[in-house]
Amino acid sequence: MSGRKRARTVVVTGASAGVGRAIAREFARHGWNVGLIARGEAGLHGAMADVARAGGTPLAFAVDVADADQVAEAADAVAAFFGGIDVWINNAMVTVYAPVRETRPDEFAHVTAVTYLGQVHGTLAALKHMLPRDAGTIVHVGSALAYRSIPLQASYCAAKAAVRGFVDSLRSELIHDGSRVRLTMVQLPAVNTPQFDWARSRLPRALQPVPPIYQPEAIARHVYRAAQDAPRELWIGAATWKAILGNVLVPGLIDRYLARHVYRGEMTQMKAAARPDNLYEPVDTDPGARGRFDARAAGRVAAADPRWLKLGLAAALGAVAGATLFATEAQGRAEERRRLAGRDR
């Protein structure tokens, strides 16, 4: 027994539904111990059953990631129970759908506390256990919106951008210290999750993800891969690549495109109905990983390390610049020949 190698352990925040639920199942499918952190107890019970059915060993905690002490205590309990933490997935989020002028200061503060500070709290809790072992991987679940904000979700977009800034600072510090703890951030496209039925909204029609839409299981497979390979970032879906690179190249054009089209893209044709939301308290049900957009969601999605996308973009821009320079020089030589010919006459 003493020589037996322990199973690897992952902790997933926001594990009761949506992408977090699918990630928990994906790790369980590979035989991992899975620590589950979320606020809703019904969803946590369902996630525990999913993990057990998939072949993993679950341990669940009803915790609000906005509370740093609760997150730290849960991390300590997972590490003590399973003998350590190998991977930590920061995934928990909340959002508010409303124009900035209609979003209250306390709503901005709470989205920030969960979606940004929740990732800070999770990272601090994970580092406490990973740094002494000089091993472990922390995965930050981000979004294309971490680079390219869209209208009607300013609080969420700002929080995801803040996560990216935090991760970049920490990465430099870990490099400075010679640490082998790894960081990776996965930037997501639109996903078919239950959040569109419980996010706080002041919009006149029912919410939807901005197409194209992907199933959470397709995302979870790439998150599992990122936890193994730890690329600096992993961009999932062509829409993510286009949004990020487009914002680098033509941000003003993207501003105007979003102003014209994305208001409509974030809403269905159905009138919004009164319903509970999960901003301050969980909607304590067990919807599973998927939302109501199965018919429109793809089960597979491509992902790319942005180093190669940026290299390709740089090569394309270099080729354009080279061709432009060549044409300019050729035009200059032709004009010089004409000028000399005219002088000889």
pLDDT per residue over 135-164, tens digit each?
A: 999 999 999 999 999 999 999 999 999 999
- Summary mean pLDDT of the chain: 92
pLDDT for the residue numbered 316: 47
H-helix or E-strand spanning residue 183: strand 182-188
* 230-269 exposure pattern, b = at least 16 Cβ within 10 A, e = fewer: bbebbbbbebbbebbbebeeeeeebeeebeeebeeebbee
Name residue 318's amino acid: G
> Is 112's pLDDT higher than 80?
yes
Q: Supply 285's token pair.
A: 């049900």
pLDDT per residue over 270-286, tens digit each?
A: 999 999 999 999 999 99
199, 152 in Cβ contact below 8 A? no
In 3D space, the residue among 235, 237, 257, 233 whose CA is nearest the CA of residue 297 turns out to be 237
pLDDT for the residue numbered 304: 87
Task: Please tell me the pTM assigned to this model.
Answer: 0.89
Q: Supply 165's token pair.
A: 């800034």
Supply the Cα-derived Rg of the chain in whole angstroms. 23
| List of residues 6+ apart from 15 with CB closer than 8 A | 21, 23, 24, 34, 36, 37, 38, 44, 47, 60, 91
In 3D space, the residue among 12, 121, 124, 8 whose CA is nearest the CA of residue 61 turns out to be 12
Q: Positive or negative CA dihedral for 233, 238, 243, 249?
A: positive
Higher model confidence: residue 305 or residue 104? 104
Architecture of the domain delimited by 9-304: 3-Layer(aba) Sandwich (3.40)
Q: Where are the domains of the chain?
A: 9-304
Please measure the distance between the N-terminal and C-terminal CA atoms of the chain and give it in whole angstroms. Answer: 99
> Is 312's pLDDT higher than 60?
no
pLDDT for the residue numbered 4: 60
Q: Is 224 labeled as catalytic in the residue annotation?
A: no
pLDDT for the residue numbered 307: 73
pLDDT per residue over 219-257, tens digit each?
A: 999 999 999 999 999 999 999 999 999 999 999 999 999
- Give CA angle at 172 (167, 177), nearest 5°: 125
136 φψ region: left (φ > 0), alpha (ψ -120 to 50), beta (else): left
> Is 317's pLDDT higher than 70?
no
Higher model confidence: residue 341 or residue 235? 235
> Is 326's pLDDT higher than 80?
no
Catalytic residue among 97, 116, 147, 156: 156
- Give percent above pLDDT 70 in the chain: 88
pLDDT for the residue numbered 1: 40
